Amino acid sequence: MKKKKVLSLLLATAMAATCLTACGGNDTTTEPETETTEETGEETTEETTEEAGEETTEETTAADEEEITATIKVWSPSEDQSAENGNWLGTMCDAFNEAHPNWNLTFEYGVCAEADAKTQVGQDPTAAADVYFYANDQLTDLIAANGIAKLGGETENYVKETNSQAIVDSVTVDGAVYGVPFTTNTWFMYYDKSAFTEDEVKNLDTMLAKDKVSFPLNNSWYIASFYVANGCTLFGDGTDEAAGIDFGGDKGAAVTTYLANMVANPNFVNDKDGSGLAGLRDGSVKAMFSGSWDYAAVKEALGDNFGVTVLPSITINGEAKQMKSFAGSKAIGVNPNSQYPQVAVALAKFLGSADAQQSHYDLRSIVPCNTELLAQEAVQADALVVAQNATFDTTSILQPFVSKMGNYWTPAENFGNSLLNGEVTADNAAEMTESFNTSLNTSAVE
């Protein structure tokens, strides 16, 4: 009995051992081989596509493209793909395919809102879309993740020629253009025309003296507008990372005092969780600050009394100062890991072209940014377009997208909360502003 057991044990170990050695042998012999073949394979394909890319971008100018059969992945917000909104993306991509008879393209669509590009593309750039839509404040992160390609040559010139300088700047980092912009992104003021006249909406204090105004004070995207109004700066002109955020000193304290007084004003209503829009609906609020995404809802709530305009000015120390919102753009980016870079770049350019923007505007009221389109009368007659572009041009600063800007958001939100709950008052404004400024320039995560 015992012998049998020992024997079986021996046999079992022998079997296991052969198994292991066999596996080991396989490992050592085959794996490196496959690896090397894979590596060389990858390298060669990369090289060839790169070369091909360069060649074809030159060739396209000669309007003679090599034949390509490819599947191109495109990510956009789901509204662009919904049949209800005219399936803008699908229509455009089909048109693109027709415009390039030598390219036989199949499109694969994915859903990714502009604001999610950073996370969706950043998660795995090698498996992300060839062409995608992004909001320009994510540019630094996308570059860091190697998820976005520099545009060059013809496409770069096209972007520079058809957009205002401010919009080109919004997609430029260190002199390189990183996408084809197709709309601006900022916030402005909606108001009830029966409550305020066109003269009154030019100054926030006049408005506050007359009727209820709602402002999202504890939202960091909005609160900076007051500080920027009084000459405070973020990273110098917005690109000088070393300059830091300057919300301190007398000019900052004056704004904090102003805000503390504004919070105490019974006509001021903080806008949180959609309360401003609800207020416009039931008439308890007469003006609110938001962007184009609330246009349809505000229009429906106010009907004929619908008014939209640029930001008002505020009176600090007897002087009128213009509020300035953060502005950015939304653009179409190209993935540097794309297998067919020449197709991806051409598609991005096509989707950002004047015709595509026109169609985008017709189908989804996306405010165009192409300078030629903006000059058209039909577009000029649209109150929303005028307000958004006037805001972009006159009452906004380009939202800085240097990486230290990441330190701004949370302290700014907390400061708004402190203002609202009365921790910050006109009396301790100077002191609180200084500590606020310090926290803005301190990195929470090193």
Partner 1 sequence: MKKKETASAKTRRFISNTIVHVSLAVLAIIWLFPIFWVVLTSFRGEKGSYVSSFFPKTYTLDNYKRLFTDTSILNFPQMFMNTLIIACFCAVISSIFVLSVSYCMSRLRFKMRKAYMNMAMILGLFPGFMSMVAVYYILKAIGLSEGSLIRLSLILVYTGGTGLSFQIAKGFFDTVPKALDEAAFLDGCNKFQVFTKVTIPLSKPIIVYTILTSFMAPWLDFIFAKVICRADAKYYTVSIGLWRMLEKEYIDSWYTCFAAGAVCVSIPIAILFVCMQNCYVEGMAGAVKG
Residue numbers at the binding site for partner 1 (CB under 8 A): 75, 77-79, 82-85, 110-113, 115, 120, 123-124, 127-129, 273-275, 277-278, 281-282, 284, 293-294, 297
Residue (of 292, 269, 273) closest to 188 by Cα position: 292
Residue (of 76, 63, 395) closest to 229 by Cα position: 395
Name the minimum Å distance from CB 126 to partner 1.
9
Name the minimum Å distance from CB 68 to partner 1.
21
Burial of 175 (0-12, 13-18, 19+ CB in 10 A): exposed
Name the minimum Å distance from CB 235 to partner 1.
25
Q: Which is nearer to partner 1, 83 or 242 (CB)?
A: 83
Name the minimum Å distance from CB 121 to partner 1.
9
- Other CB atoms within 10 Å distance of the CB of residue 444: 9
- Other CB atoms within 10 Å distance of the CB of residue 62: 8
Q: Which neighbouring-strand residues pair with 181?
A: 331
Name the minimum Å distance from CB 120 to partner 1.
6
Q: Which is nearer to partner 1, 187 or 415 (CB)?
A: 187
Q: For residues 115 and 136, what is the distance between their CA atoms, to the nearest angstrom?
A: 9
Q: Which is nearer to partner 1, 114 or 156 (CB)?
A: 114
Q: Are 305 and 194 in contact (CB under 8 A)?
A: yes
Q: Are 187 and 223 in contact (CB under 8 A)?
A: no
Q: Which neighbouring-strand residues pair with 70?
A: 105
Name the minimum Å distance from CB 90 to partner 1.
12
Q: Are 72 and 341 in contact (CB under 8 A)?
A: no
Q: Which is nearer to partner 1, 71 or 157 (CB)?
A: 71
User: How do strand 176-177 and strand 131-135 relate by DSSP bridges?
Assistant: unpaired
Name the minimum Å distance from CB 300 to partner 1.
8
DSSP assignment string, 401-442: -SGGGGGTHHHHHHHHHHHHTTSS-SSSHHHHHHHHHHHHTS
Q: Which is nearer to partner 1, 74 or 149 (CB)?
A: 74
Name the minimum Å distance from CB 430 to partner 1.
35
Residue (of 122, 144, 131) closest to 96 by Cα position: 131
Q: Which is nearer to partner 1, 192 or 294 (CB)?
A: 294
Sign of the CA dihedral 106, 110, 115, 119? negative
Q: For residues 311 and 322, what is the distance between their CA atoms, to the nearest angstrom?
A: 8
